[in-house]
Structure 1
């Protein structure tokens, strides 16, 4: 035998190279810029344990064999009369004397709801258990990052779902869990700052969360805040939900029937138009006796409480605009590098006509430019932030991008990928 390298040397080096490649690949996946997805209104799954629910006789009142059932969004629940069961299970209750004076809402009798999958992306990919293009939520963004940047679900991309029925004052535990998730993601990525991607209501909640964190914490852990269709200044459609219900565009839902549910959600109050964006003299609701009579009253952000009092709301609801309007100062900047993305070029509800007499559905009165839900003028709030903080703020407007469909818009996918590819840094300071 020759005196050269031992016979096992080639095998040794081959195995060593394989181990080195595996090591480096694993390390690289851990060092990608971490992304955390925050859903908007209706973007989180809601499940429940049913134990003696007092819902209509044809509804399931107990969970079979103790297994929880999906409340939101179970597509079959949208059909009549199952929609009545969904309404019972989703409504929030409170003591009338404490409503809007304390974080005190709770589930209906016999219903115990929970939000599954905190930190897990799978629960925010689709709006329902039926996976179609009409129920796609964050699925396109996740698939794009996986394909273009080799991201891995639940490793580099995580999610922070929450009970979208609640307002910030009832989400203290959620915000603490989110903070822990951000810090853990930062450390697992070897000190790479986190990119927060939030949609709709989620954008306003993240603004509230960032306001509650010290600047040194934000400087250390947050690389970029991407707000998609952020409802920072509220939306007029929330007034529609309060007055006559909003069926979310689903024909099988009777708006008036769903009104009780939406009135009970603090998040509906939290999304009422904010005077910082809408002003105090812009007509939002016009109350009419009967056409063609002129309106007998015009309501703005300055007198919404009077409107709700006349609408015979339950005790405590009239205080909603004042209470929830003070929770988040939308004029205060987030204190981190921010990109606000808005759709425009689509008719968006600007004001409504409400028939004062009788229990009737309010009608659209005027429309403005926006994404069909959030007014394009909301971008002004983001622009104002740029003069109030050192970190850059950028505004991107996507023509004809609808409020939900924007999440699958290739222009948005490339924008998010660009932010992530740059490690959260922005290419422009304006």
Structure 2
């Protein structure tokens, strides 16, 4: 038996994705659908395996939720998530509060915070309050602790109230 070399196609998001809302990425999803269909045809009509990583998992999940069942049965063999932040990411809370210097110790994390706050995907990835108990603090300060139930107060206290109006992972996450 001779095994054919599998065809691998890559799709990269070339910048830190600003997710105002996943629904607004329709053009990306149209191109992804076309790529999957083209790959299916190039592979002699064999369904494809999707292997998204990190935030790409949320994109893939949302994309597949929007596709009808017959299309998925025809074109998708399987979906394998790698390092998916389904419940959000605690690190994003730290970044919104004090920034992240990415290990560059010559600069204060606060010097990066302004730029990092311009990336709505950070707020999008806040820990999902349906999965993080309100009794568990995510942020501990000398005067106040904040849990997943305290995001609005947290944003007010760090003078970043616009963040409370941005979408978060709760709207899009949790496997179907």
TM-score bucket of the superposed structures, by smaller chain: 0.7 to 0.9
Q: Which has the larger radius of gyration?
A: 1
Question: Which shows bigger deviation, 160-169 or 170-179?
Answer: 160-169
Higher relative contact order (CA 8 A, sep 6+): 2
Gapped regions of structure 2 (runs ≥ 5): none
* Higher percent of residues as strand: 1
Counterpart in the other structure of 1:276: 130
| Structure 1 length-normalised TM | 0.37
Counterpart in the other structure of 2:87: 233
Shift, 1:186, TM fit:
0.5
Map 1:14-413; keep pairs closer than 5 Å.
28=4, 32=6, 156-162=7-13, 163-167=15-19, 168-288=22-142, 296-313=143-160, 315-320=161-166, 323-330=167-174, 332-333=175-176
Alpha-carbon distance in 2 for matches of 1:252, 1:170: 38
Task: Note closer, same or farther for the CA distance 1:172–1:281 as it changes in structure 2 (3 Å cut).
Answer: farther
Aligned 8 A contact 2:87 2:173 in 1: no
* Higher percent of residues as helix: 2
Alpha-carbon distance in 1 for matches of 2:44, 2:35: 14
Aligned 8 A contact 1:231 1:271 in 2: yes
Aligned 8 A contact 2:86 2:173 in 1: no
Alpha-carbon distance in 2 for matches of 1:166, 1:205: 12
Aligned 8 A contact 2:58 2:173 in 1: no
Q: 1:121-165, CA deviations, whole angstroms, 9 ceiling, x for partnerless residues?
A: xxxxxxxxxxxxxxxxxxxxxxxxxxxxxxxxxxx2111112433
Task: Note closer, same or farther for the CA distance 1:215–1:279 as it changes in structure 2 (3 Å cut).
Answer: farther
Q: 1:49-105, CA deviations, whole angstroms, 9 ceiling, x for partnerless residues?
A: xxxxxxxxxxxxxxxxxxxxxxxxxxxxxxxxxxxxxxxxxxxxxxxxxxxxxxxxx
Task: Note closer, same or farther for the CA distance 1:248–1:214 as it changes in structure 2 (3 Å cut).
Answer: farther
Aligned 8 A contact 1:305 1:319 in 2: no
Alpha-carbon distance in 1 for matches of 2:102, 2:24: 24
Q: 1:169-223, CA deviations, whole angstroms, 9 ceiling, x for partnerless residues?
A: 4422111111110111011111111111111111222122222211222111111
Shift, 1:279, TM fit:
2.8
